[in-house]
Structure 1
Amino acid sequence: MTRQREQFFQFYEDDFGLSALAGKLASATAPDVVQALESAAEVAADCEGEGAMDLGTDIRYLLDSGLPDETLRAAWLAATHERFDPADFGTDLHGWLTRLAELYPSRPRKRPQVYWPSPPHPEFAEEELREAVVAEIRAAAPELRRALAHSGAGGALPSTVPEALEAIAGQADGETGLRLFLRILKVWAVPVGKEQYDRLMELTSEVGYPGPLVYDGLDIQWLPLDPTRRDRSGDFGISVLSERFATYWEEPTVREAVALAATFDNTAETPGTAAALLFEDAVRLLNSPLSADTLTTLWLAVSDRGLDIDQIDIDGRDWLRLIADVSEERLRDVAPSYTPVVGPVRTALTQPVLEAIDEATPDLATRTVSAHRLGIPGAAAVDAVREVVTHADPDLGYRLFLRLLNVLSVPLTTNQYAGYLALGERFGYGASHVPDVIEHLTYEN
């Protein structure tokens, strides 16, 4: 039997299969066999019944692995937080799994009807996956043993759980072993360092897992909040806020929309990072000599008039103060020990950014932002961006310049695009930052 390689995030929002069943039992109070079977039925019913396929596949891999009952039992008891031991109900682990296998036999997945082609999911060789999962289990083993010992775990001996997980991942199935490993880390509150967390996110992305399957409930040891660190792959700060307002937003009030944006920490970032970056951008502009009119023009241009602050009697400085205030509120909630700061400006890149803007100015100046309604001349918009670069921050100015290229749909040559990518790398932007904003503007696209 070969497990179908899937983009599992297309089917599930969180955990699935045997690890999801273990999670349900771990959160239950003294579940009996009837409750355990009801939980299995809930897992099987997920995704219009597709959950049964993955539950059955997980079970079949364990039964066919030839692993001894004590190995499977150690991992199972750890994954269920010792809440459900089949031995208490007159059967061993193989007997319990066999009963589940009769209810949920392994079968091919029913392919959902799709209306557009989806990119092929890259193959991740089973042997490569097994080695990667075993390596992560070994990396976490010391902390896992400490957590088990500290909790006074009984049936699942602390010294055998990591070895049991290794055996499942290495000899039964890499994916089943990976999900059981993550479940055990969560139910025993095992601290996971940032470096291992990043590796786990990359690994689970390779096999197409939904993000919450990894980070929801995981005790991640986050690094201190530092807005100079670039852990996210895409845009950030006021430039991404402007993009949010340029597209669809449905919050009842403007303040609530900003508050929601301030919560959008990337999965790789310390909680509070999005708010810290918004705060820093807003304060840089507030501390600059740019006039309220210039700041108003700037916002209206880069947001493509997605929020007409000039039509609701908010000038550019009032708008920035609101952004800064909301960001501070978020930081007080999620990172109370952090003191918002504004770091030094990297003026060394001012000239390269100005040169990029000057090169694009002829194309920008002939266009109009929101030409269909209360248009803003492209020349005025690019002048406002140039002032940000010169008098506030070339990093922020460059991000707003990229946004303006997007808003005005300026066509780019492949050489121009390559230059913008290279400048983004000098600022330390994430891999998808520049592509997400302007790649579609290149001639080849």
Structure 2
Amino acid sequence: MPQERPAYVELGYSDDFGLTGLTEQLCCQNRRPVDRAAALAVAAHLADGSEGDEAVELGEDTRRLLHAPLPEQVLHGVWLAAAGRIFDPAGPGQDTRTWLQSLSDLATDRLRQNKRSYLPPPVKPVRDEDLCRAVVTQIRGLAEDLTAVTRLPDIAPDLEQVVTSADADVGFRLFLRALKAYSVRLPKERYDRFLDLGERLGYPVAVVRDGLAIDWPPIDTTHRDTSWDFGLSGLAGNAHQDWCPDTARREIHRAADTDEPRQSPGTAAALLLEDAQRLLHSPLSDATLTMLWVAASDAALRIDGRVWLQSVTDVCRERLSEVAPAHTHTPAVPSARTDSAATAVLREIRETAPAVTDKAISPRWQPLPAVHVMAALEQVVDRVDPDLGFRLFLRVLRPLSAPVTREQYGRYLALGERFGYGEHHVDEIEQLVEWPRTGS
């Protein structure tokens, strides 16, 4: 985050916070307008949360606005938009600046409960020119929509003034809250740009994503939109020794329900379903399917492979029927492929096999010999799908503690790029790479 301040995610926040966290709570808790006393009660409850951490952000946000040369009409307009008109601070003898000062005082009083001598630190607004310009561009791109739904003719220039004269961080969050309060629909491309800005400001994903009305494109499993592992190999990577048959379905649900921030709802389930279907409808034997799951999951859950894959399929279909009913549930099962991608993956498996001949997965209990695992991986590549075979291969390298040379790692990265993997997918095995020693 700019200004050498820790990112909000590093500070432990997972949801919206500060002034915009307050407007979110006001909108969520109330369907009808509230008075000042009720709004202050919500603010006090917020400030009491997280041992006063929320009070810090509430105080920071209000002071950034109060210390800026913003006229009452600007403060009033952006507050009404962000709070969805649930509370209007401009009553008889009152104005928005007075309201913000009340919030600042409330936050300071809460923090003095822990430290009597507490004094609010100097205001350090986010004024990075490039960042301000990027936020203003997004506001202008939605100015017409915002004006129409808020019925505030100056809302776009008012938000711009907050960004450029007060603080880009608070301004962007107030802009997001206005979009959410009035359910302004956004194309996926604009949402992606919002996520990029949120990352620069150190926001948790929920600050941008939760509550936005996004026009999601149909699920496309050829564009994964994730930086990490996915599908069956991703599920195996999340397995741990506490998994048991009685809770297995819950673990599948957890994987199928967890879409990445840039994925259309249901994408995680669609990717997982595709892998499971390809294996279920393949010519691989039951024993081979069981061996593949046990190997990829590091023996975290020893279960019949075909039964497990059928459970995965059932859960994924349930998830898709809820969030993406138009998605075709049964992906085409590719025929055995012998193209250059398959040849390249087979080469990597066969080059690694001699180095793990004497190794086994779960060597102390029902050991699974590496030679059998490598043979099963070859079958996946040759008879099912080289992409899935390569992902499962990467997954078993860690429990086998297989040594990886720099040259091999470079080829793995190239294959990952070829298959469209995200930036952190292959580098999950980086600890296995034999890097040259530095120094004498």
TM-score (norm 1): 0.88
Partners of 1:272 and 1:50 lie apart in 2 by 34
Partners of 1:245 and 1:12 lie apart in 2 by 26
Q: Which residue of 2 aligns with 1:329?
A: 318
Q: Which residue of 1 aligns with 2:422?
A: 430
Out of 422, 429, 432, which is 1:441 matched to?
432
Partners of 1:191 and 1:47 lie apart in 2 by 33
Aligned partner of 2:355: which letter?
D
SS of corresponding position for 2:268: helix
Q: Which residue of 2 aligns with 1:119?
A: none
Aligned length: 417
Q: Which residue of 2 aligns with 1:120?
A: none
Q: Which residue of 1 aligns with 2:85?
A: 82
Partners of 2:205 and 2:139 lie apart in 1 by 19
1:338 aligns with 2:327: yes
Partners of 2:66 and 2:4 lie apart in 1 by 18
CA apart distance, 1:104: 3.1
Instruction: Answer yes or no: is the 8 Å Cα contact 2:25–2:42 preserved in 1.
Output: yes
Change (3 A) 1:92 1:98: same
1:319 aligns with 2:308: yes
1:383 aligns with 2:375: yes
Partners of 2:149 and 2:314 lie apart in 1 by 40
214-223 or 86-95, larger mean C-alpha shift: 86-95
Instruction: Answer yes or no: is the 8 Å Cα contact 2:277–2:333 preserved in 1.
Output: no
Partners of 2:245 and 2:147 lie apart in 1 by 46
SS of corresponding position for 2:186: strand
1:373 aligns with 2:365: yes
Instruction: Answer yes or no: is the 8 Å Cα contact 1:305–1:370 preserved in 2.
Output: yes
CA apart distance, 1:39: 1.6
Instruction: Answer yes or no: is the 8 Å Cα contact 2:52–2:111 preserved in 1.
Output: no
**Percent identical:** 44
SS of corresponding position for 1:439: helix
Aligned partner of 1:23: which letter?
E
Alignment of 1:409-424 (within 5 A): 409-424=401-416
CA apart distance, 1:125: 6.8
Partners of 1:131 and 1:94 lie apart in 2 by 26
1:393 aligns with 2:395: no
Q: Point out where structure 2 has 5 or more consecutive residues left out of the alignment.
A: 113-125
Q: Which residue of 2 aligns with 1:242?
A: 236
SS of corresponding position for 2:238: helix
419-428 or 95-104, larger mean C-alpha shift: 95-104
Q: Which residue of 2 aligns with 1:30?
A: 33
Q: Which residue of 1 aligns with 2:53?
A: 50
Q: Which residue of 1 aligns with 2:75?
A: 72
Partners of 2:65 and 2:229 lie apart in 1 by 43
1:296 aligns with 2:290: yes
Out of 127, 130, 133, which is 2:135 matched to?
133
Alignment of 1:350-361 (within 5 A): 350-361=342-353
Q: Point out where structure 1 has 5 or more consecutive residues left out of the alignment.
A: 110-123
Partners of 2:378 and 2:357 lie apart in 1 by 13
Q: Which residue of 2 aligns with 1:406?
A: 398
Q: Deviations over 1:104-125 (max 9, x none)?
A: 359999xxxxxxxxxxxxxx87
Instruction: Answer yes or no: is the 8 Å Cα contact 1:53–1:106 preserved in 2.
Output: no
Partners of 1:247 and 1:425 lie apart in 2 by 31
Q: Which residue of 2 aligns with 1:182?
A: 176
Q: Which residue of 2 aligns with 1:199?
A: 193
CA apart distance, 1:137: 1.3
Change (3 A) 1:266 1:251: farther
Q: Which residue of 2 aligns with 1:215?
A: 209
Aligned partner of 1:137: which letter?
I
1:142 aligns with 2:139: no
Partners of 1:11 and 1:47 lie apart in 2 by 10
Q: Deviations over 1:203-262 (max 9, x none)?
A: 212222111111111111111111111211111111111112245548952222212221
